[in-house]
Structure 1
């Protein structure tokens, strides 16, 4: 597990006074301001976040400390922002931060290694695990449901997957 979790990304500038449009990855998009300061991926910069608008083209409008001009805001487009893990809420036993799942080994119900979780996607119908297996031409895409993934063992660094017929 990492000390920081990606909670959003800067989608671009908003207006001419240094506001940015922030795509929040939080279940409550407005809660992103509660987890500050937010850090760049390399940890070289941090920003205090103040919400200014609740719905701006698929994101939220925010002011970041140290960003006062449109040019400064434009330069941050695409930057992912991370919150310290201890600032985030704890989760129930059956919920996980994506950052905790990426990199885990995936085993089938017989214990054979299937691959490693490389990414997690959600296009609106639920999370999908992208499982990379050396020697395969393409990654496996497995819906992250209790039926397909009955066991997640973060301490052991693995998940057990009951692969649907034809996905093996």
Structure 2
């Protein structure tokens, strides 16, 4: 039976304090970067703290924001590293070919021949587009560009992804075969 999607989605992270009046520097993970503030109240990962956020200005790498209950620079600095989550029902509806990264984590990935490549551990973006990080038992980490060519099928209801790794990346089994052949 398929797992239900997470009830909350990470929409931002606190990168530290901004200025001396209690503003926090916030890095947004939303498609529309300033939208994270409208999905509140935002919660910490453990759900122990809740914040209403109000963006005060854009800053390098994100936004300066006022968070409810945070009045001093020291309080804002103490929040550094916290990820902020929004309730899924507060987020906008997705188009057919859009996915929340949180929904992809843990989904099993198969190659086009049906062999398991592992499970999605993370979705990264190093500046050139999204990359899914796939880990499998005894295999090296596989980084796949999150494009229709490399990931042609995503079936979240079945918790299954079909991937067609680009030739220059190769599937983990191909790497093992190449290594054995070179000995």
TM superposition score normalised by structure 2: 0.88
Give SS of 2:102's match.
Answer: helix
1:156: which partner in 2?
158
- Structure number having the greater strand percentage: 1
2:36: which partner in 1?
32
Q: For 1:41-81, what per-residue CA distance to the aligned partner results, in whole angstroms no more than 9, with x for missing partners? A: 0001100011111x212110100000011111110001000
In the alignment, which of 145, 149, 154 is matched to residue 143 of structure 1?
Answer: 145
1:111: which partner in 2?
114
Gaps of 5+ in 1: none
Decide which structure has the larger Cα Rg and report it: 2
TM superposition score normalised by structure 1: 0.96
Please say if 1:10 is aligned against 2:11: no
Q: For 1:109-146, what per-residue CA distance to the aligned partner results, in whole angstroms no more than 9, with x for missing partners? A: 1211110010111122211111001111x200111111
2:69: which partner in 1?
66
CA distance in 2, matches of 1:29, 1:143: 22
Deviates more, 1:71-80 or 1:120-129: 120-129
2:99: which partner in 1?
96
Give SS of 1:117's match.
Answer: strand
Please say if 1:52 is aligned against 2:56: yes
1:22: which partner in 2?
26
CA distance in 2, matches of 1:51, 1:126: 26
